[in-house]
Amino acid sequence: MSLIGTEVKPFKAQAYHNGKFIEVTEADFKGKWSVVFFYPADFTFVCPTELEDLQNNYETLKSLGVEVYAVSTDTHYTHKAWHDSSETIKKITYVMIGDPSHTLSRNFDVLIEADGLADRGTFIIDPDGVIQAVEINAGNIGRDANVLINKIKAAQYVRNNPDEVCPAKWKEGAATLKPSLDLVGKI
């Protein structure tokens, strides 16, 4: 059984956010959409391009009512240091959670035990704190924030229109399907 449809498990973590250290818990995932974006480690190679891509789309995400949480098993101190020293990371304005205790990485089933690092996993969480989409790539394959945004829009549309479904390749504004008995076997 996948994590789809399950509620985020309790946790408490320190994060770096806009020049401050803050605490984040599962309560922060209630009442708005969230993206939890795991990556293996600060100061590595794919990671900054993915995080930059996410930042470049952060305004769009915020306009959709989505908060973004990047997570690695590094500390929040290291997140700040990376933020201070990297031109790329410096631009980031979303939350960067430190997970040195592996709690979040275990809760989302992305901890690589032997390495103490997280898989490259993205989770879309609805305002009830329930996971709606999962995406995990092997170590050296980057993710695409546009793809993520499309998926969030579909998830939001489905939540707001519970009797409609988003077909493949659905983009905002495109037609949806209204399931009805008559359609069974007709499509």
Integer-rounded Cα Rg, in Å, for the chain is 17
> How many binding residues for its own copies (CB under 8 A)?
86
Q: Estimate to the nearest angstrom the gap between the alpha carbon of 100 and the chain centroid.
A: 19
Least Cβ distance, residue 76 to its own copies (angstroms): 9
Give the shortest CB-115-to-its own copies separation in angstroms.
6
Exposed, middle or buried by CB within 10 Å (0-12, 13-18, 19+), for 36?
buried
Return the range that interacts with its own copies (CB under 8 A); candidates 28-36, 61-69, 161-169. 161-169
Question: Does 26 engage in binding with its own copies (CB under 8 A)?
Answer: no
Instruction: Report residue 118: phi and psi, to 5°.
Output: -95, 145
Question: Which helix (H) or strand (E) element contains residue 106?
Answer: helix 103-107
Q: Which of 8, 19, 69, 160 binds its own copies (CB under 8 A)?
A: 19
Of 3, 35, 36, 47, the catalytic one is 47
User: Which C-beta is closer to its own copies: that of 18 or that of 31?
Assistant: 18
What angle do the packed helices 145-160 and 46-56 form, to 10 degrees?
A: 50
Q: Respond yes or no: is residue 166 known to be catalytic.
A: no
Shortest separation between residue 70's beta carbon and its own copies, angstroms: 12
The answer to the question of residue 181 lying near its own copies (CB under 8 A) is yes
Site mask for its own copies (CB under 8 A), range 127-156, x = bound: ----xxxxxxxxxxxxxxxxx--xx--xx-
- What the block records as the tokens of 96 is 């960067």
Q: Which CB, 63 or 87, lies closer to its own copies?
A: 87
Q: What is the DSSP letter of 183?
A: G
Q: What minimum distance in Å lies between the beta carbon of 77 and its own copies?
A: 4
179 lies in the site for its own copies, by CB under 8 A? yes
Out of 24, 33, 36, 50, point to the residue binding its own copies (CB under 8 A). 50
Q: What is the secondary structure of 42-104 as a DSSP string? A: TT-SHHHHHHHHHHHTHHHHHHTTEEEEEEESS-HHHHHHHHHH-HHHHT--SEEEE-TT-HH
Q: What are the catalytic residues?
A: 47
